[in-house]
Structure formats: structure tokens, C-alpha cells
Amino acid sequence: MSSIAIIGGHGKVALHLARILTGGSHSVGSLIRDPQQRADITAVGATPVIADVENLTSEQLAELLEGYDAVVWSAGAGGGSRERTYAVDRDAAIRSMDAAKLAGMSRYVMVSFKGSRVDHGTPPEDAMFAYYEAKAAADQYLRETDLSWTILGPSTLTQAAASGRIDVGADLPPGEVSRENVAQVIAAVLANPATIGRFIEFNDGRTPIDEAVDAAA
């Protein structure tokens, strides 16, 4: 059994992930900002950890991450101002990577987006520009750490029930992927050390998730 910290623990992907991991006998600490979300966290078997990651220093966050074996970043500003997008999706994410190192952890899984690259090509006037810039910068920082990282690049997220099947590859056309499938992919890469150092882009598809993850490793 391992112990997993999920940052952004009240998100839809994170709640699915906590349920999957705790059902597999892992222990999960879900970092949330709002204490009123505690009941939703305990309902999926996880332990709520109150943490405003947007405003915590790396050292403060490291204290909360002590004792965990791995961290999953599944947080996000959720739209709004460009300033807050950079503050959460880039700056807080980067501090969490530094915190993982300070806490003595090595395994780090980043939930990003399909096409995340520094040269993503989106024009500045596009409404998604700040998000793409912030995520790409955080992903690049993660690649340059000595953490045992995996970056996941799902396509557009949906509320559909999990099919348990995906297609993987950088050359896939734009598509969709259910949040529950994303959670299953996260669980699969946590269990598969061969995915360390990989950027795995995927849509809902035809291949069972474990097989697809093995092929991408």
C-alpha cells in the first residue's frame, strides 16, 4: 500500500481518483482549500487536508506532504483572471514540485492538457492563452527537475462514464476524454514505473487503459 497526496482534491477527476486509489487499498490525502468540502473527500475514502496552495510557500506545502509516497497535481484556477491562472496553474504548481523535493518525495504526476508545449502556438488574444502558457511553463519546469515525473495530456474533458479505454499518442486529432477515464489513467501510471519521464497524450478510444499506458511507457 502506498500513500498518495492529491492537490486539487475536490475536482471531479480528483474525486474519481481518490475513490479508485482508496478502493485499491492505498491511502489518500486530498488537499482542498474549502473546509466545507471535507464531507465530499471522506465520502470517497480520502483524508481531507486543508491547504490553500495558491498562497502556501514551498516550505509550508512540504510540511503537508511529509510522509506521502507520491503527489498528483490535479488543481487549477478554473478560469477567471489571467493573473490567477498564472498564480495557480504555473506558480503554485512549481512550488508544489519544489515542496515534493523538500519533503523527500520523488514520484510526481501532473495532469496537464493534450498539446502542452512551450511553443503551443496559441495566439495571445485567445481566451485559453494564459492557461496554455501557465501549464506549459509548469510542465517544462517539472521536466527539468530530478523528480520521477509523468505528465498526462488528456483532450477535452467530459462527464461521461468511464469506458476504461483510450487512444494514446501525440499525433491524435483533438478529441474528448471522460474525467473518470483520466482518473483511471492516473492510477495506472502511478502503478507503472515505466511511465516515469513520459508525456502521455490521450483521448477516449479503443485500447484498455493498462495496455495503452504500457504501450506509452
> What pLDDT shows up at residue 120?
84
Of 114, 205, 217, whose CA–CA distance to 162 is shortest?
Answer: 205
Strands 70-73 and 156-158: unpaired
CA distance 174 to 133: 19
Model pTM score: 0.96
Strands 3-7 and 27-32: parallel
137: pLDDT strictly greater than 80:
yes
Is the separation of the CB atoms in 92 and 31 below 8 Å? no
Is the separation of the CB atoms in 138 and 151 below 8 Å? no
3-216, which class in CATH?
alpha beta
Three-class SS state of 145 = coil
Which residue bears the cell 500500500?
1
The gap from C-alpha 53 to its chain's centroid, in whole angstroms, comes to 14
57: pLDDT strictly greater than 80:
yes
Three-class SS state of 113 = coil
Range 176-201 average pLDDT: 98
201: pLDDT strictly greater than 90:
yes
> What pLDDT shows up at residue 211?
97
Range with lowest mean pLDDT among 6-10, 123-127, 164-168, 191-195? 123-127
